[in-house]
Amino acid sequence: MTDIAATIPKTRTRGQRIIVAVCAALVAFMAYSSVYAYRKPFTIATFDGIKFWGVSYQTLLIISQVIGYMLSKFYGIKFIAELRTIGRFKTSLVLVGSAWLCLLFFGLAPAPYGMIFLFINGFMLGFMWGIVFSYVEGRTATDFIGAALAISFIFAGGFTRSVAKWLVVEWNVTETWMPFMTGLVFALPLLLLLWLLEKIPAPDTGDIQERTIRLPMDKESRRRFLKAFGMGLGIVTATYLVLTVMRDVRDSYMANIWNELGYGNNYSIFTKTEINTSLLILLIMGLLVLIRKNFIAFAVAHYVIAAGFAMAGIASLLFITGRMDGVLWMQLTGLGLYMGYIPFNCIFFERLIASFRIAGNVGFLIYFADAFGYLGSVTVMLVKEFMKLNLNWSQFYSQGVAAVSVLGLAGTVFSYIYFKRKYSANTKL
């Protein structure tokens, strides 16, 4: 610990902190947005008429990638928890480079063998969130930086799909080669951005005093955390699971839903709708940086998540009953789901660690919740396909969001009660 303390920078001035926060937010946002170019653009390809084992090829590809992504989350509980600062750049290059190579083989391989390469692609990319977030956690400005990073989910999902659709529509790139060519567009920018991540200054002494020092968590550290907070983490994980399921359905089948709503040839619809959502989420999450007391910010994160579930559920009920048009419904459910999803990935666990003064890292908690979240996502996709539910994706998504909102609200309330009692007990000691 003494050696670590010797390397910690002295507290920066207010102006220096603002500059570091803005630069870190911008670099992290653009870096993870570029990573998305190797993961999601293939979902705009519907592969119409191609089926295997009675299931559409598009769905088989999505499920294959999500299974790989899910397995990386389970392995990432250990891998990301024990991640050290040395070697992150090389690790990122290997992971993204391997994922891009898989897209090359996807272009070469006949159906259904593309499933193999998207499975590996998903496994490689599943570690990147934890690596990128490790550069920015443990700072007084992490709420703002993390919010900027987390909205890359929303912005990049739309922007990279728009680029992919542009390649297909304007350049006549085939559906099988479109994922690799989209990666080519982002290759040099991503290389630069990963290098810039390495240049982000480490947290200073003021950051550590307010947010605690962030250290790798070995097996014993993880065991102690689960012993102290296991029930609360279980409640949070269950809430996050139902949230991830519908968020991932929206993300993976966005093209299908827009097709069903009558916007199939409008490749700008992805970016236009998601930019509005991104800006609103950034504003909401960024305001939490103004709350200095960690547990109050942790409590407010619960309120934001609950409000998101309520918004998404009400919008879906209005759409189902014909009282809301499809575009507004997609925007409001997207905003609501991301009001729930984004805090877990940038603020919720960050403030949890700071509130209880835990010498650990956010990556362990995010990957623990993510692993079970994607397990739920895979399960729902498989059930829909193999039980032959007679629903199109817009029906399935709207009805699923309405149901999930009720479960999510209940889980959020229980989580708040559990951690408030824990915190009250700790402050009395």
User: What digits encode the pLDDT tens for the residues 261-272?
Assistant: 877 666 566 666
User: What digits encode the pLDDT tens for the residues 335-347?
Assistant: 999 899 888 888 8
The amino acid at residue 178 is: M
pLDDT at 268: 64
Task: For 137, list phi and psi in degrees, rounded to 5.
Answer: -75, 165
Average pLDDT over residues 185-193: 97
User: What digits encode the pLDDT tens for the residues 76-111?
Assistant: 999 999 998 889 999 999 999 999 999 999 999 999
Report the distance separating Cα 256 and Cα 134, nearest Å. 34
Task: Report the chain's mean pLDDT, rounded to a whole number.
Answer: 88
The CATH class given to the 9-428 domain equals mainly alpha
Is a pLDDT exceeding 70 seen at residue 21?
A: yes
User: What digits encode the pLDDT tens for the residues 208-237?
Assistant: 998 898 889 999 999 999 999 999 999 999
pLDDT at 2: 41
Q: pLDDT-derived band of residue 280, with 50, 70 and 90 as boundaries?
A: confident
Distance, CA of 243 to chain centre: 11
- Mean pLDDT lowest among 3-12, 56-65, 211-220, 396-405: 3-12
Q: pLDDT-derived band of residue 368, with 50, 70 and 90 as boundaries?
A: very high
Stronger pLDDT, 64 or 40, i.e. the higher one: 64
pLDDT at 428: 64
Stronger pLDDT, 155 or 375, i.e. the higher one: 375
Q: pLDDT-derived band of residue 369, with 50, 70 and 90 as boundaries?
A: very high
Report the distance separating Cα 396 and Cα 249, nearest Å. 9
Cβ-contact 26, 197 below 8 angstroms = no
Stronger pLDDT, 359 or 188, i.e. the higher one: 188
Average pLDDT over residues 169-186: 94
Q: What H or E segment, with its residue span, contains residue 244? A: helix 219-252
Average pLDDT over residues 58-71: 91
User: What digits encode the pLDDT tens for the residues 110-149?
Assistant: 999 999 999 999 999 999 999 999 999 999 889 889 888 8
Is a pLDDT exceeding 50 seen at residue 3?
A: no
